[in-house]
């Protein structure tokens, strides 16, 4: 039997706008996709091409590795769903890990960061009113204006210059 006939919701859900999807992090720590009818499925995030947009075009796969949803842009999700997805991306490693902060400049409505990541040197921009978010397991999550995600681990382990530049963002 054709899988789409056995589970017709997969075909329609995969093409629904991301704003219609609800994602939750539950007490078990897993990411759950909640369908409009209230049924829920454990999912994992699989990043799709292009690699130039690592936080966009995200496929949601069930336990059988079948796509049950697609998020073209996390900004289309409601705030709680977006945070749940971001936490899942952090755990899945689909982000840039900052190892050093060289410079932070503030301009009109934009903050420009010069950083070193495990993937190499990067420059990113955030809105002045978008502050890094504290992660449940420690560290900070930064989303740039392009939607890319950056994680700062334990700030106390960074070099003195990086810690000095980050003083306004940590407790």
pLDDT in tens, 110-122: 999 999 998 889 9
pLDDT of residue 19 exceeding 60, the answer is no
CA distance 96 to 126: 15
How far from 58 is each of 9, 53, 115, CA to CA, in Å?
18, 10, 25
Return the H-helix or E-strand segment holding 149: strand 149-152
Two tokens at 77? 């999700």
Contact 62/68 with Cβ under 8 angstroms? yes
pLDDT in tens, 33-69: 998 888 999 998 887 766 567 678 888 989 888 999 9
Percentage of the residues of the chain whose pLDDT score is greater than 90: 39
CA distance 71 to 55: 9
Two tokens at 155? 């700030």
Claim: this prediction has a pTM higher than 0.85: no
Q: Where are the domains of the chain?
A: 3-78, 96-169
pLDDT score for 93: 62
Interstrand relation of 133-134 and 31-34 (parallel, antiparallel or unpaired)? unpaired
- Cβ neighbours of residue 57 under 8 Å, at least 6 residues apart? 47, 48, 49, 50, 70, 71, 72
Interstrand relation of 31-34 and 40-47 (parallel, antiparallel or unpaired)? antiparallel
CA distance 73 to 146: 10
pLDDT score for 94: 65
Three-class SS state of 169: helix
């Amino acid at each position: 039997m054709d899988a789409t006939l056995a589970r017709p919701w997969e075909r329609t859900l995969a093409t629904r706008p991301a704003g219609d999807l609800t994602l939750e992090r539950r007490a078990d720590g897993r990411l759950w996709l909640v369908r409009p009818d209230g049924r829920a499925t454990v999912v994992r995030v699989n990043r799709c091409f292009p690699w130039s947009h690592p936080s966009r075009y995200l496929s949601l796969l069930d336990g059988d590795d079948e796509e049950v949803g697609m998020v073209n842009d996390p900004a289309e999700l409601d705030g709680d769903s977006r945070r749940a997805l971001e936490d899942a991306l952090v755990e899945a490693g689909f982000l840039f890990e900052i190892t050093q902060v060289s410079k932070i400049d503030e301009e009109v409505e934009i903050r420009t960061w010069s950083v070193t990541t495990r993937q190499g040197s990067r420059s990113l921009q955030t809105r002045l009113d978008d502050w890094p978010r504290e992660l449940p397991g420690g560290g900070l999550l930064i989303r740039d204006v392009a939607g890319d995600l950056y994680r700062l681990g334990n700030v106390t382990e960074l070099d003195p210059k990086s810690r000095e530049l980050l003083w306004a963002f940590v407790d």
